[in-house]
Structure 1
Amino acid sequence: MAINNGNGLSRRNFLAASATMIGAPALAQNVNEGTTEIEREVTSVVRRNISSFRTLDWQPYFSNLTKGAILVDISSRALHFWEDNGNYHLYPSSVPLTEDLTRRGRTEVVRKVEGPEWRPTPSMRKRNPEWPEYVGPGPDNPLGSHALYLSWQYYRIHGTHDTRKIGRRSSNGCIGLYNEHIAQLFSMTEVGTQVLLI
């Protein structure tokens, strides 16, 4: 039996409309220019790139798994990690905001820091002069709980306290993970772990 509230909206129509709304793809979000490591405003409507989020084999990308291997796929916004014993891990990530901030190629982990400090780069300060010059470890730090520093200056794989950034183009070049995921990755990687961004 259908329940009608007097507005012409029955329970059956309400449920059908709700199912349609849930099944509809989210609209892409406009990201304000300058929204990078520190988020300004993030709406709840975000297009996630889940269709490309799939497992991969390491052999097409690396010749070995000595010290493990990290592959970051910018298009699918996913970080793939293979331990040196072949165990595989797949994490959703945030990626650079624009193509000109994106760097691709081979690098490696050169430093690991738990509770990282953050200082905006000179180019970040130029684009966002209102940003603080320094943020210490803690809940306001845009690098989250852990950071893997890469051999490229200013580039890191790090956590984030703002979980809305994951699955989005939202950084100045770094790759972001949920704090619980960067903590896992941090514990499995070592200085010298090879990294490839594609």
Structure 2
Amino acid sequence: MTIATTFSLRLLRGAAGLAALFALSQPGVAQPRPPAAVQQTMDIGDEPGRVSTEEVSITEGPFARQMVLFRSNEPPGTVIIHSAERFLYVVQGNGRALRYGIGVGREGFQWSGLVQVSRKAEWPDWRPPPEMLQRQPYLPRFMAGGPGNPMGARALYLGSTVFRIHGTNQPETIGEAISSGCFRLANGDIADLYERVPLGTKVIIRHQATL
């Protein structure tokens, strides 16, 4: 290859690079999107400002609130969460439980344990914990309670942890693993659960599927 040819190729490459930069800088030109794996989404899995009314419940399909057969040695009133199954049960006794469909923690944010309901709140405020803010510093530091709040219509706080059973303004996420460890119900369902579960209620979280 001659020196002249090499020089010409370099000019063409340089011109192509400048043309690409120029195109990307123009309005209306589609920008390349990063792979889904590197796109960050809100840990809460909701959209602050999106409104979903308290009346919204899951009324059809497997995640609809319903009475089911349920074997347990726990006393009536105990809350049992089966994360793998995406269900929350309130033990009723006589081999039955009231079952709610829930959303659970995504991969790496699942947990199990025994806690109690330590606090209850209607239309709770949202303060992302420091760990969440460290991962996603663009999140708001505080959001007042209301229909546009990601925490939804009600919240049951679990012991001294940062986790809660709460509502959501995205009921379509029920049945998914999307949160940072909290358990979510549609707003109508969390309002129903809120009235049934007093302070001090025993809550058992089981991550593995039952046999």
In the superposition, the TM-score normalised over structure 1's length comes to: 0.69
Distance in 2 of aligned mates of 1:82 and 1:101: 26
Distance in 2 (alpha carbons) for counterparts of 1:161 and 1:39: 7
Are the aligned partners of 1:159 and 1:182 in contact in 2 as well (CA < 8 Å)? yes
Structure 1 residue 150 and structure 2 residue 136: aligned? no
* RMSD, matched Cα: 2.7
Which runs of 5 or more structure 2 residues have no equivalent in the other structure?
1-35, 48-60, 207-211
CA-CA distance at 1:193 after TM superposition: 0.9
Where 1:184 maps in the other structure, the secondary structure is helix
Q: How many angstroms apart in 2 are the aligned matches of 1:59 and 1:148?
A: 22
State the aligned residue count. Answer: 155
Deviations 1:86-106 (A, max 9, x none): 8631111000012x3112011
1:78 has 2:91 as partner: no
Contact 1:34 1:127 in 2 (8 A): no
SS of equivalent to 1:101: coil
The amino acid of 2:185's aligned partner reads L
Matched, 1:93 2:106: no
Is 1:57 the counterpart of 2:70 in the alignment? yes
Instruction: State the one-letter code of the partner of 1:73.
Output: H
In structure 2, the CA distance between the partners of 1:83 and 1:50, relative to structure 1 (3 Å rule), is closer
Matched, 1:39 2:39: no
Structure 1 residue 36: Cα displacement: 2.3
> Is 1:132 matched with 2:145?
no
Q: Name which of 121, 131, 141 aligns with 2:129.
A: 121
In structure 1, distance between residues paired with 2:70 and 2:94: 14
1:96-155 C-alpha deviation (Å, 9 max, x unpaired): 012x31120111111111110110011110111111000111122111000000104211
- Can you give the 5+ residue segments of structure 1 that lack an aligned partner in the other structure? 1-29, 41-48
Corresponding residue for residue 169 of structure 2 = 161
- Take 1:139 and 1:175, find their aligned partners in 2: how far apart are those partners? 18
Q: 1:77 to 1:106 in 2, by over 3 A?
A: same
Taking the aligned partners of 1:102 and 1:152, their CA distance within structure 2 comes to 17
CA distance in 1, matches of 2:122, 2:198: 13
Distance in 2 of aligned mates of 1:111 and 1:174: 15
The AA in structure 1 aligned to 2:157 is: Y
Whole-angstrom distance in 2 between the partners of 1:56 and 1:148? 25
- Mapped partners of 2:94, 2:79: distance in 1: 14
**2:84 partner amino acid:** S
Which deviations, in whole Å up to 9, do the C-alpha atoms of 1:27-50 show, x marking residues without a partner?
Answer: xxx78554421436xxxxxxxx95
In 2, distance between residues paired with 1:186 and 1:142? Answer: 17
Conserved 8 A contact 1:35-1:170: no
Aligned to 1:172: 180
Is 1:69–1:84's contact at 8 Å kept on the other side of the alignment? no
Q: Percent identity?
A: 32
Task: Report the Cα distance in structure 2 between the residues aligned to 1:148 and 1:83, rounded to whole angstroms.
Answer: 19
AA aligned opposite 2:43: T
In structure 1, C-alpha distance between the alignment counterparts of 2:69 and 2:205, rounded to whole Å: 14
